[in-house]
Amino acid sequence: MRNLLIFITKYSAFFLFLIFEGIALYVFINYNDFQRASFINTSNELTGNLYRNISNVNDYLKLKEINDSLARQNALLRNQLMSSLYIDTAGHRKVNDSVYKQQYTYIEARVINNSVNKRMNYITINKGSLNGIGKGMGVIADGGVVGIVMQASPHFSVIRSLLHKDTRISAMLANSKEGGSFMWAEDMDPHKGLLYDVANSAQPHLGDTVVTDQHSLFPIGVQLGRVSNLKPKTGGFFLNMEVKLSVDFSKLEYVYVINNKFAQEQQGLEALQKDE
């Protein structure tokens, strides 16, 4: 027994190393599981509030750019107003609209923490479960898809950015409706993505728009980017193409979280299928 104690004290560094390395790796591997919650991230009160304060200062410095983008969006929305359209049919009558039922609602939020230079990037926003945000909801910005909500605390949420090695989004070419999968390119360029597993029969052209398709958790037709390079990366059965992202992640300010009102119903139905 005494010898054992002497042995342990003599090599204390090694044993301490094993213990703490074990703990660290355990925490790391468990967090990668999408399902599990953890408090060591930017959705907790301390780090979240710190980042919010810093972002308040940053926003002040970026006021001009934000104003420009808001003005642009205002103009766009104004164009769609009824009052800015010229009515060319004489008998205009009001239709009581019972055909449509609202499926998606949008919650706007401000980005308070963001990064683009890691292999796994996360975004923190200033709205949380109190505003109706929940795990698994899609997030978009002005130009297109931003990511998926990974975790929501009462006042903050952490989003797994599109710029993350594990993010996959079901997408299609807007013109030909050819489906494929979308992921971030491996060379970590924050402006480029990869559309892969597109059927060989597709004939993509440079500049084609890539949008989300009906299998994704986003509404159909949210833009991801434009095809910028057609060189096939592998000589497999499927086509790959490079996509220039439509969202500039390094300048992300405001995002919209999508609440799909039918998500629960759909998941419940699909779960029933699995049980059988």
Partner 1 sequence: MSRVIFANFIRFVVLVFIQAFLLKNITVYDLAVPYPYILFVMLLPFETPNILLFPLAFLIGLSVDAFYDTPGLHAAATVLLAFVRVLFISITVQKDGFDNDPEPTLGGMGFRWFFTYSAVLTLVHHFILFNLEVFRLSEMEYTLSRFLMSSVFTVFLMLITGLLFFRKKRA
Of the listed pieces 49-57, 96-104, 167-175, 257-265, which binds partner 1 according to CB under 8 A? 49-57
Which residues are bridge partners to 181 per DSSP? 170, 196
* C-beta separation of 159 from 138 below 8 A: no
The full 3-state SS of 7-19, as one line of letters, equals HHHHCHHHHHHHH
Query: 45 or 108: whose CB is closer to partner 1?
Result: 45
- Tally of CA atoms within 13 A in the half-sphere of 209 that contains its CB: 12
Question: Residue 255 Cβ, how far from partner 1 at the closest point, in Å?
Answer: 16
Q: Would you state the structure tokens that stand for residue 130, as one six-digit string?
A: 């109190």
Question: Residue 23 Cβ, how far from partner 1 at the closest point, in Å?
Answer: 7
Question: Residue from 107, 174, 189, 244 that binds partner 1 (CB under 8 A)?
Answer: 189
Of the listed pieces 26-34, 97-105, 216-224, 238-246, which binds partner 1 according to CB under 8 A? 26-34
- When asked if residue 66 is in the footprint of partner 1 (CB under 8 A), the reply is no
Of the listed pieces 11-19, 73-81, 203-211, 236-244, which binds partner 1 according to CB under 8 A? 11-19
Question: Residue 274 Cβ, how far from partner 1 at the closest point, in Å?
Answer: 29
Question: Residue from 28, 60, 86, 100 that binds partner 1 (CB under 8 A)?
Answer: 28
CA atoms of 32 and 163, how far apart (whole Å): 15
CA atoms of 147 and 111, how far apart (whole Å): 12
Question: Residue from 26, 34, 106, 262 that binds partner 1 (CB under 8 A)?
Answer: 26
- When asked if residue 34 is in the footprint of partner 1 (CB under 8 A), the reply is no
3-class SS shares of the chain: helix, strand, coil, % to 5:
30, 30, 40
Which residues are bridge partners to 256 per DSSP? 108, 140
CA atoms of 87 and 113, how far apart (whole Å): 46
- When asked if residue 47 is in the footprint of partner 1 (CB under 8 A), the reply is yes
Q: Looking up tokens 């399902």, which residue turns up?
A: 35
Q: Would you state the structure tokens that stand for residue 220, as one six-digit string?
A: 């159909």
- When asked if residue 170 is in the footprint of partner 1 (CB under 8 A), the reply is no
Site for partner 1 in 222-251 (CB under 8 A): 250
Q: Sign of the CA dihedral 31, 44, 147, 234?
A: negative
- When asked if residue 262 is in the footprint of partner 1 (CB under 8 A), the reply is no
Binding footprint of partner 1 on the chain (CB under 8 A): 12-14, 16-17, 19-21, 23-31, 38, 40-42, 44, 46-47, 50-51, 54, 114-120, 122, 124, 158, 165, 186-190, 250
